[in-house]
Amino acid sequence: MDKIIIEGGHSLKGEVRISGAKNAALPILVSSLLADGWNTYTNVPGLKDIESTLLLLENLGAKIERGKNTVRIDASGLNNPEASYDLVRKMRASILVLGPLLARLKEAKVSLPGGCAIGARPINLHLKGLARLGASIEVEHGYIKASVDCLKGNSIYFDISTVTGTENLIMAAVLADGVTVLRNAAYEPEILALADVLNKMGADIKGAGTSEITIQGVSSLKPVSVSIIPDRIEAGTFMVASALTGGDVTITDCRSDHLEAVIHKLSLTGTKVIIDGSNMRVKGPDKIKSVDVKTLPYPGFPTDMQAQFMVLMSVACGFSIISETIFENRFIHVSELRRMGAQIKVSGNSAMVQGVKKLSGAPVMASDLRASASLILAGLVAEGKTEVNRVYHLDRGYQSIEAKFAKLGAAVKRVKG
């Protein structure tokens, strides 16, 4: 099993290009199931989750052509309504095929999904919404079984904000009969990106990026050529890395408007963020100031940046509180950071962090995608050698992250296992 070894103490300097957003690419690739003909997607990140999605789509009957950061998909041959456990178990986003399969084939059998072990991320909101569109749904033997004669538009209210739930219902509703209104919908930029792609395909979606989305169903969609938006979480990770190491890093091909909460919190730590179009220059402070953080649905501080920011606070001057309101059990990385000398106490959904002068390199184990990134960040600033094990989590969401850090001057390498 691969591991990443970091020798800490190097300030990051230089330029890094941000890859396409995994969380935008996954639903957009799945949306290809809704139209016959070749869809072309550029700026697709080279990630394990992307490869898993393409294998799943291929198994459902789609044709796939792969190039460097380019993918072409033709779902004209879509004929298999079953997403099996073997294809779904590694990735939670596989649930996104449920809506499109119901829309196109009128039936679906989808294994309950896997992915990061960061608490109960219930899919009941997806199922309740699809039932409101007329689907009959059963969950048994580890599978969701759904069928429908004809999806019919309806009003759907989400009890809590759900990104994948909003995406799934949008994709089901675009080919439904009549009007669907999604209330308390998630705001995330990735949802707006999906809606933009679907509208280019001929859908009629209004209000994406707000809490109320209206979808007028259409009879069919056409294929498109689109580029995937930049990954705001990858950009945020490199921003924190620059701040953490007292670096001076220019981040290119990013969307600063998708990172306003992160930029605001970083500025309070003393970090300078200079925005120039699609580029951001991030200059780390001499002394990092402590800042409290509370994760919230977009446009609030993203839960996917919580672990990275905790590393920053672990070497800040003073005391901070990090509150996690999105997912339960998302402090698994804390025990590993403590092994490196971080002073962190967890109580319920909050972590109390007392900054220390330095972290100490140690062997650590990644538990999920963003925890993996946080341990690499900790290794960058720690004294001595840090060995991050189980980095297959990292490969699910970051493209060549060790190579990008090495280019910025970090002493980091991957050791094949």
In the chain, domain spans:
3-19+230-415, 22-227
Confidence (pLDDT) at 61: 98
User: Taking the model in full, what pTM does it have?
Assistant: 0.95
**Residues with a known catalytic role:** 116
Say if residues 147 and 107 touch (Cβ distance below 8 Å).
yes
* Strands of the sheet with 385-389, listed across from one edge: 363-365, 385-389, 3-7, 411-415
Residues of the chain below pLDDT 50: 116-119
Alpha-carbon distance of 256 to 85, in angstroms, equals 38
Helix (H) or strand (E) holding 100: helix 98-105
> Under CATH, domain 3-19+230-415 is a member of which superfamily?
Enolpyruvate transferase domain (3.65.10.10)
Predicted local confidence at residue 119, as pLDDT: 46
CATH topology agreement for domains 3-19+230-415 and 22-227: yes
How confident is the model at residue 396, as a pLDDT? 86
Q: How far apart are CA 173 and CA 152, in angstroms?
A: 8
Reduced to 3 states (helix: H, G, I; strand: E, B; else coil), residue 65 is strand
Q: What is the pLDDT of residue 121?
A: 54
What span, in angstroms and rounded, lies between the C-alpha atoms of 327 and 337? 19
Instruction: Tell which CATH architecture fits domain 22-227.
Output: Alpha-beta prism (3.65)
Rounded-to-integer distance, Cα 88 and Cα 117, Å: 14
